[in-house]
Structure 1
Amino acid sequence: MVQSLLNQHFKLIVVLRLLKIPKSTYFDWVHYVEPNRQREDMILKALLHDIWQNNYRAYGEPRLRLALADLNLHHGTNRVRRLMREAGIYSVMSRRFNKPTTTVDYRQRPNLIKHLLAANAWSMDITYLKLSNGQWVYLASTLDLRTHKILAHQISATMDTKLVVTTLQRALLTHKKPNYLHTDMGSQFTSFGFENLLNQHKIEHSYSKLGHPYDNAKIESFHSLLKREMIYQFRFPSIAHLILDVFKYIHWFNNERISLANRKTKVA
C-alpha cells in the first residue's frame, strides 16, 4: 500500500502519517539488504508494535496480518503470533464493571425487523460509562444496521428522554431517515417525546423482546468494543475528557478500524 500511494504522487511523510507508521520503522524496513531472519523479526516486531499501539492496542493476530498485508508484507499466522508473543502484543480484553440495573414496566411491543435482514433500519441503545471519581455517565448511540457505522452519539450526566431524542435528531440532520428504528423497551425509548419524534419522521419503531438483548446485538457489540478497546484502558477525570476520547474512538471505529467481516484478503 505504501508504494501504491507513493506511485500516486503522495508525499512519503503523508503516507506514513496516514498509515500511522513512524519514519524510523519504515526506513529500518526499506533499507535493509538481505537481512538474516533475526534482523527481519526485529523489524517486523517494531512494525507490529507500532500498528498495535496506534490502534488502541485492539488488534489481534487476524487484523495485524491484514495491516501487514496492506504494506505488502505477507506472513503466516504462526510467525505473526510468535512475534506478537515476543513483543508482548495482545488484543486488549479487560475487566467489566458492574453497572446500575434498570427495570422495564411496559408490555411487549413488536420486533418489526426480526425477519427483515436487509431492512433500511437504524439501531439505538444507551450504555453506562464511569469517570475516575466513580460517577456514572451515559452514552447514547445510533448505528446504521446496513453499514455498521455510528451515525450519531451523545454523552450526558443524566439518562433521560432528552438524551435519546437529541442523539436521534443529530443522526437525522446528517443522514437520510431509515424506515425502521430498533431499540430495547427502556423508558427513554418508550417515552412520549421519543415516540413523537419517530412519528414526525414517519419512522416505524421496532423493539427487542424483553430479556433478549441479542435482538439488538449490533449496537450492543459496538458498545462492548468501545469499552474493551478504549474505555477500560484509560482514566477519565471529567466528562469533558470522556467526550473527547469517545469522539476520537468513534471516528477511528467508523473510518480506520480494520473490519474482518468486510475484508476478503487472504494472507499467505
Structure 2
Amino acid sequence: MEPALFLELVDLFKAKYSITMICECMGVPRSTYYRWCHKEIGMTELEKEILAICEQLKFRIGHRTVRGLLKNNGTKLNRKTVQRIMQKYNLQCRVKPKRAKKMAGESNLIVPNLLEQNFKSDAPNQKWVTDITYLPFGESMLYLSTILDLYNNEIIAYKVSDTQNAQLVLDTLEMACQKRHTAGTILHSDQGAQYTSRAFQLTTKENGIITSMSRKGNCFDNAVIESFHSSLKSEEFYTLERVRLTNAIVQQKTEDYMYYYNYIRPFQKLNCHSPIEYRTMAA
C-alpha cells in the first residue's frame, strides 16, 4: 500500500477508530505507520528519539519509563512533555488487565462435605442448606440468597439483593439465626467465595453452626436447594417470561412465592402438608 494513501485513510477514520485497529485491519505495522508519518509530516528530533525508544521496546512501556531512558541518554524533560508527545502519536503502552478483585473477606476457607448427599433430618435445625441464585427477570440482575431446613424443606431465611457479595449471605444467615436455635446445626453450601469468606465462617462459628461444603463443581451435593430455586423460577417467573417486570415486582413475587411455599404448597414427603403445617403438627 502507498504510504500517502494509507496516511490519508488513517486521517479519515482515526476519529472513529484507533490507529492500532486501523493498522491491524490493513495489515500495516504500527511502527511502519509512524515511520511514514515521520517522512510525510516531519518529526522533531525529540519526537524521533521517543518513537525509536517505543519501537525498540515494542510499545510496551509508558511515558515515565521513556522519560527515564531519555534522562539516561542525557535528555532531561518534564514527564508531561513526554506524555504529550506519546499521546500525539498514539505511542501509549499496552495496559495490563486488572486482576479481579477478591471479595471482601475472601480467604478460600474450604471445609469438608459433612452431608455427603444425606438430605434426611430427624428434627428441625439439624441440617440447613444454602445457596445463591440469579433472578434475571427485572430491569437488572438480582440475586436471591436462601437458607432451607432439610427437616421439612422450610425456607428459614432469604434475601434479594442487586449485589452478589459476602454481605448478602451474612444478612441471610443473621435472619436465620434470629429465628432459630443454631447450636450444633450443620449448614451446607457450595464453595462460592461468599461462603469461603472469613467473615461468613467466623459468623457461623460464633453462632455454634458447623459448616459443610459441596465438592467443587458437583451440584448434586446441594440438590435440595438447587431444586427449590428451580421450582421458584419455573412456578413463579417462567410463565411470565415475555412480560417485562420491574425489580420491585420481582422482589414482591419472590416474597409471595416464599409465603406460598412455606404455608400453602403441599409436599408428598410431608404427607401432603406444607412445611410450616408439618413442623407445627410435629411439635
How high is the TM-score relative to the length of structure 1? 0.56
2:129/2:189 contact within 8 Å kept:
yes
Partner in structure 2 of residue 172 of structure 1: 177
The code of the aligned residue for 2:223 comes to: A
- Report the CA distance shift for 1:264/1:230 in structure 2 as closer, same or farther (over 3 A): closer
Partner in structure 1 of residue 72 of structure 2: none
1:24-73 CA distance string (max 9 Å, x none): xxxxxxxxxxxxxxxxxxxxxxxxxxxxxxxxxxxxxxxxxxxxxxxxxx
1:160-191 CA distance string (max 9 Å, x none): 00100001111111122152100000000111
Deviation (angstroms), 1:208: 0.3
Where do 5+ consecutive residues of structure 1 fail to align?
Answer: 1-103
How far apart, CA to CA, are the structure 2 residues paired with 1:264 and 1:131? 30
- RMSD value over aligned CA atoms? 2.4
Whether 1:193 and 2:195 are equivalent positions in the alignment is no
2:109/2:198 contact within 8 Å kept:
no
Aligned-partner SS, 2:195: coil
Partner in structure 2 of residue 40 of structure 1: none
How far apart, CA to CA, are the structure 2 residues paired with 1:107 and 1:195? 8
Whether 1:260 and 2:265 are equivalent positions in the alignment is no
Whether 1:118 and 2:124 are equivalent positions in the alignment is no
1:139/1:155 contact within 8 Å kept:
yes
Partner in structure 2 of residue 22 of structure 1: none
Deviation (angstroms), 1:258: 1.9
Whether 1:144 and 2:149 are equivalent positions in the alignment is yes
The code of the aligned residue for 1:114 comes to: E
Aligned-partner SS, 2:148: strand
Whether 1:205 and 2:216 are equivalent positions in the alignment is no
How far apart, CA to CA, are the structure 2 residues paired with 1:191 and 1:150? 23
1:108/1:209 contact within 8 Å kept:
no
- Report the CA distance shift for 1:236/1:123 in structure 2 as closer, same or farther (over 3 A): farther
Partner in structure 1 of residue 258 of structure 2: 250
* Match 1:183 to one of 179, 183, 189: 189
1:140/1:154 contact within 8 Å kept:
yes
1:153/1:167 contact within 8 Å kept:
yes
Where do 5+ consecutive residues of structure 2 fail to align?
Answer: 1-105, 274-283
How far apart, CA to CA, are the structure 2 residues paired with 1:196 and 1:144? 21
Deviation (angstroms), 1:202: 1.7
How far apart, CA to CA, are the structure 2 residues paired with 1:253 and 1:162? 25
1:108/1:210 contact within 8 Å kept:
no
The code of the aligned residue for 1:245 comes to: K
Partner in structure 2 of residue 158 of structure 1: 163
How high is the TM-score relative to the length of structure 2? 0.53
1:45-103 CA distance string (max 9 Å, x none): xxxxxxxxxxxxxxxxxxxxxxxxxxxxxxxxxxxxxxxxxxxxxxxxxxxxxxxxxxx
The structure in which a higher percent of residues are helix is: 2
How far apart, CA to CA, are the structure 1 residues paired with 2:121 and 2:159? 27
How far apart, CA to CA, are the structure 1 residues paired with 2:228 and 2:117? 22
The code of the aligned residue for 1:118 comes to: S
How far apart, CA to CA, are the structure 1 residues paired with 2:155 and 2:121? 18
1:230/1:249 contact within 8 Å kept:
yes
1:112-143 CA distance string (max 9 Å, x none): 1227643711111000011344x211000000
Q: Give the % identical residues.
A: 32
Higher relative contact order (CA 8 A, sep 6+): 1
1:141/1:154 contact within 8 Å kept:
yes
